[in-house]
Chain A
Amino acid sequence: MELTYLVIAILICVGLYAIASKRNLLKIVIGINILESAVIFLFVFSSYRPGGTVPIISGNHELFVDPVPQALALTAIVIGASTTALMLGLVIELYKRYDTLNITEIRKMRG
């Protein structure tokens, strides 16, 4: 139980470190995706119940896992895919205009 929360916290730590310290735009996009995976992991873990099955009500199962966080996780995955595609499109445009992916270089060249 505690170990799973520790793994989620480590994933969040890795994602935040990548966003804050890396200078390459593609690495920042990867960091945002790691952070997002940690959040989805938290949703899936919070829906877990010991001994529960998939929330498809058929047969003679009694105990099901919580369906609400799973629906929210699906929403998060879809939004994440859209925002990643949008970020990559913007990265392509920036590379075309400045010929570099380093954000400090891009900041220097502005204006």
Chain B
Amino acid sequence: MRKLYCLILAILLASMFFMAFSGLQEVDMELSNFYLETGVEETGAINMVTAILFDYRGFDTLGEATVIFAAATIISFLLPKKQTTMLKDDFSLLVHKSIKSVIPIVFILGVYLVVFGHLSPGGGFTGGVILAVIAILWTVVFDLEYSESKLSYSTKSLIEDLGALAFVIIGLFGMIAGSTFLASGQAGFYLGTPGEILSGGAIPYLNMAVGAKVGAGLAIIFNSLIKGE
């Protein structure tokens, strides 16, 4: 009986949302057109999603990065720090060797996504997740001891802290130069020719900071969740 009530409630709420969405036909494109027209010369980056994320709304991205930071901190506090694991290491030699040869390629893909974030699809968050996959592969295919011996908890924590610190320091450069927090073009960062690697003002450096932070944070989260009694 209770399930029927739940179903009726869900259908009513969903039909209300459906009617609300049907009235959404007209989208105001004024702001988007402004970004698309003047974004390249103002920020120097040709990828508009990255330009919005790290230049126009950089302060929001700082808050977003803080959420991952807080989640990683809380999870590593909440769960025990014992070294045993929930996984059993029963993969054959073939899997171990092939994963060892795949990991450098994954690393190159992650670094490429982070460094070319202002030119191609990708960016600090996407590249950081790919980099975290390396630590997750170590944990899943080998075991937690191997993963921690390659990159210990304190090293990952240090990388995450340095990423957060770099983001705030790059933001403070804008204030030192007499502009606002996280200013890029106005603060004298080199804008360059749009489309080259050395362009986009502070965006590549912010991408690297966020990539290091997200990669280390997700690796800490996964390794903490996998620890058992």
Task: Using CB atoms and an 8 Å cutoff, list the residues of chain A in contact with chain B.
Answer: 1-2, 5-6, 8-10, 12-14, 16-17, 20-21, 42, 46, 54-58, 64, 66-68, 70-71, 74-75, 77-79, 81-83, 85-86, 88-90, 92-93, 96
CB-based contact B78/A55 at 8 Å: no
A76 to B225 Cα, complex, angstroms: 22
CB-based contact B52/A68 at 8 Å: yes
A88's contact among B14, B36, B225, by CB below 8 Å, is which?
A: B225
CB-based contact A71/B14 at 8 Å: no
A78 to B71 Cα, complex, angstroms: 11
CB-based contact B13/A12 at 8 Å: yes
Known contacts A92-B225, A93-B78, A93-B79, A74 near B125 by CB under 8 Å: yes
By the criterion of a CB under 8 Å from any partner CB, how many residues of chain B are at the interface? 56
A92 to B57 Cα, complex, angstroms: 36
CB distance from A101 to the nearest CB of B (A): 16
A55 contacts which chain B residues (CB < 8 A)? 36, 47-49
B48 contacts which chain A residues (CB < 8 A)? 55-57, 64, 67
The reply to whether the CB of B22 lies closer than 8 angstroms to some CB of chain A is: yes
Known contacts A55-B48, A67-B35, A85-B71, A17 near B21 by CB under 8 Å: no
A75 contacts which chain B residues (CB < 8 A)? 53, 60-61, 64
Task: Using CB atoms and an 8 Å cutoff, list the residues of chain B in contact with chain A.
Answer: 2-3, 6-7, 9-11, 13-15, 17-18, 21-22, 24-25, 27, 29, 31-32, 35-36, 39-40, 46-49, 51-53, 57, 60-61, 64, 67-68, 70-71, 74-75, 78-79, 119-121, 123, 125, 194-195, 214, 218, 221, 224-225, 229
The 6 closest A-B pairs by CB, nearest first: A13-B14, A9-B18, A21-B6, A82-B71, A55-B48, A67-B48
CB distance from A93 to the nearest CB of B (A): 6
Question: By DSSP majority rule, is chain A's interface helix, strand, loop, or mixed?
Answer: helix
CB-based contact A17/B6 at 8 Å: yes
A10 contacts which chain B residues (CB < 8 A)? 14
Known contacts A42-B21, A92-B79, A78 near B68 by CB under 8 Å: yes
A51 to B201 Cα, complex, angstroms: 31
| Best-buried of A6, A21, A70 by chain B (most CB within 10 Å) | A21
A40 to B29 Cα, complex, angstroms: 19
B3 contacts which chain A residues (CB < 8 A)? 21
A85's contact among B17, B214, B221, B229, by CB below 8 Å, is which?
A: B221
CB-based contact B53/A71 at 8 Å: yes
A102 to B92 Cα, complex, angstroms: 37
CB-based contact B47/A56 at 8 Å: yes
B125 contacts which chain A residues (CB < 8 A)? 74, 77-78
A58 to B10 Cα, complex, angstroms: 45
CB-based contact A67/B32 at 8 Å: yes
